[in-house]
Structure formats: C-alpha cells, structure tokens
Structure 1
C-alpha cells in the first residue's frame, strides 16, 4: 500500500515589487514610498511634539528662577533689617533650578537629535542633489530608538544653560546683595561697617564675603570652562564647531560648495545632469525618455572593447529632479543598460539656459 505524502505547507511568498525604485527596503520590510513617507512624517510630528514639551519645561524652570529672584529682591528692599539673608538663600535656590534645567535640557537634546537627523538626512535630501539620504542616517536613528542615551553630558548642559540665562541672574543677585548691605537701613561710611553688617549671627562678615566670592567664581568657571564642549549635535551650531562624530547631518554644508554668478549658493540651484546610457535597446530607451521626460536624446555608436559588440550610446541632459524618472525609464526598457551621470556646469539650449 503506497504511503500518501502530505501536502507541503504553503509558505507565503515575500512581497515582490515590479519596480525596485518604488520600494524602501528597511530592516527587512518592504515599503512603498508613500507608506514610508507617511510613517516618517508621523514619527517627525511625534518627536517634534515631545521636543516641544521639554522645550516648554526648560522655559518653565527659567521662569521659576526669574520670578523667585524678582520676589526675593522686592521683599529684601521692602524691609530694612536682616532681609539681605534672603539673597544668598535665593542664590542657592537658583542653583537648584539650574541643575534641574540642565537635566531637562539633556532630555530635550535627545529628541532634538532625532529631529535633526530627519530634517537634514530625509527632508533636506529631498530638496538637493543627489536626492537621497546618507547611508548611515537610518542606522543612527534606529540606534537612538533601540538604545536611547543622552547626547550631551551634564557639565555641557549646565554650562549652556548658565551662559544662556543664569549668569545674568547670578550677576543681579551678587550686585543686589552688595547694594543692600551698603544702603540699608542707611548708607555705610567705612569698610569695617560693611563687614559688620554682612555678618550672619556668629559668622564674621569676612567669611560670608569670602564664601560668596568663592561660590560665584566656581559657578562662573563651570559655566565658561565648558564652552568648548560641543558633544550635542541637536543644537544649532556652526559646522566647524561640531566634532566629527557629531556631524551626523550637515548635508547643506557639504553641498553648498560653489557660488553662481549672481551670488546665490549653488545648493538652491543644483547642477543639471548629463547622462550617458550604453544599451543594446537604444530605440526603446530613447522613446521612453522622449515620452516620459520630454528631453531630447542623441544617439552615438560605440563598440565594447571586451566583447567587441556594437552598442548604442545615448546622450541626454536632464534637470536634477528628473534623474529618478530617467533611471526608471532606462531600466524599464533595458535592465542591463549601463548608466553614467555627470553634473554639468552649464547647459545652454532649449529647455535649459538661454544663450547669452
């Protein structure tokens, strides 16, 4: 009796696309351009919303510091006796606000880093040649999602927030304390009287003044000695200020290398492209280019020195935004075609630049 073989389990075939140029291959998934673009737009909106939340939290901490300082100074000058003690206490409170704001700033930089990756290697790549993102941008973005980590150290964060906002608050507090000691309840006439009024209980005035000077020198040293730290790439910094690992995204600086005669950067007016197409199907390729791109095609004859076979060499000039459609047309007609693209400094003629 013959044994009946069970039917093999049918496995679904992987998604295949007729045109590989229409598919994003990302982490094993096959997405159409519309699907990928929709996902990236929603991801960008989500990261922008999260960054805005932390941006608002940064502003809230600064507002606390300003309001607290204003209230302290108003109360200190409203009463003549011993209210100068509120100013050092407020200085310590401002320092706590600075530490809290630095921590929040580190979180803000994480979301800002992701946004900058999307802006410079996705959206900007759509606008300037070669109209494609840098090879590692998706890997860098995925790493921040899989293993999030701060892009800025706590010392760099403290230094940035201090230089942006808090140094002015510390200066106001220090000057106000000196003015309060000197004027209230009446102007002093000698340095000894100043020291006596600055004393806090059994602590001599010399110790209080020395501690105040030491504290301010230390906080200003931390704020300004961290100026050279530029680890974070999410902030708006000049390209030369960013270290090499942080130059994740400066496509604009790489592309804007030439200037046009009118002084506008070449990045906003990209070069036209000259295409050389070596194919066995010259007629079919030329017709697709004529029909789809509306560009003239010049056919030359060439001989492959390795095979000795005669082939057509098509010459065509296109605008940068037509390069994608050109590739699609060429490889639709002849998957074995050989395509060479070169930037043209100047193309004069119909459909391009008028003769001067």
Structure 2
C-alpha cells in the first residue's frame, strides 16, 4: 500500500471512526455515568459493573469485547473486523482519557437532579451521533454493534432498530442497580440515540423524489429542466383501469425546490397525479459527490 492510499484510508475511514468513538466516549463519561443513567449492549454491562463494583468502563469494555471479536471475525470478514478492532481500541482509549480528565479535574461532568431530562436528551444525541459516524464509515464499537451489523447484512434490519430492541432488553435487567425513573429516562436516551444513528447512516441530506403521472409529460419535463436545471426521467406506464399508455415523470430535487416543482406540474396539467417521497443520501450531479 503506497503512502497516498494509506493517507486516503486514514482520512476517509480511521479518522471518522476516531471522531465517532471520541464523541461516544464523551457522552458516556459526561452525561451517562454522573447522572446514574444506563446504556444498552456491552456498554450497558460496563456501566452496571461501574455502578456495582466501581470497575473502570475502559477496562471492562476491552475485556468483554474479546470473545465477541472471535464471533464477529468469521461473520464480518477480515477488513470489517480490522475496523471494528480499531473502533474498540479507540473507544477504550477515549474512555480512559476522559476518565483521567475527570479524576484530574480537567473535565467536570454534567451532573444534575433538577433537570435530568436535559442530560437525557444530550446523552442520546451524543451517543447516537458518535455511533452513527462509526457505523457510517464501516466500523463498530464492538459488542452489540457487531451483532447489529451482522443482522443488518443478513436480515436487512435497520441497525438503529435492532440496537433499540436489544437495548430495551438489556436495560430492563438493570432494575437491581438503578431506580425505575432512571430506567425510563434511559429509554428516552436510547430512543433518541437510535434515531440519530439512522439519521446519520441514511445521510444528513434529505431530498424529495417526485413521480408525476400526467398527460403532458414532455412539457413538464422540459419546464423542470429549464427552470430547475434538474435531470428528469420519463418512465413508461399503463393505466390499469383506462388501459391507456402514459409516461411518468420522475425527478429528485432539494427541499427548497419542493413548492416550485409542484407549481410547474399543476400549472401545465391541473389533473396531474403527484407522488412525493423522501430520499436520503443523494449522490450525483447537482447534489453531493461520494
């Protein structure tokens, strides 16, 4: 591997995984632990060990993930597991770093009794953002993340949803260590975290896809091309009831162009049938490049 390829891989894969694990570790040390909240998966086990026995989360995270790596090695393949191992080592390092910062007084955790909902919301955002970045660039932080990625590949299950259901089960077992109220707050954190994971996984940029069934497809397509400078695709279709052959106009536009394209279609054909759907992570000319 030459130097340019190595630096490219570091910038496109390892650096984002590092940033993601740093954000996740910060959320755990800064919001979760000081407010006696919980987490799911292997991290939830490390949190329980910290509450019950005072075990360092950085140490338990590393030790618990060792057997899971053996499971994931065959399921995910060599390259994927290298990224996962790096993710766990990076997470372990940042957990240790923030633990030391707290002990030495450089980091003052957000501890509150009067506004626990604020800690809950920010914990969900930081944990979800961190994991979402790690997942988006091909890594994991070990534990349930490895199982979630396997489920995503084998069963086509959303990673965020899979982690949510597993976390609910794991968090339910923490009744012996924290109060019911804290568990309920934790479920809010987990829900927000799962949504953040899916949001970042699918892409922060959301566009709109238009499917227009009309008797004036060429005129509408021509007007969209001239006014919005967007690519348009004409799709052959047959009306089931009328048995008439038609052409559907398909176009992807940004949110800001939503009202304009509706106006164009209705202005040319008031009887046009318009379907608008969400599109995530749009790549290509006029949007963003991969």
Is TM-score (shorter-chain normalized) higher than 0.5? no
Q: Report which structure shows greater RCO (CA 8 Å, sep ≥6).
A: 2
- Greater gyration radius: 1
TM-score by length of 2: 0.32
TM-score by length of 1: 0.27
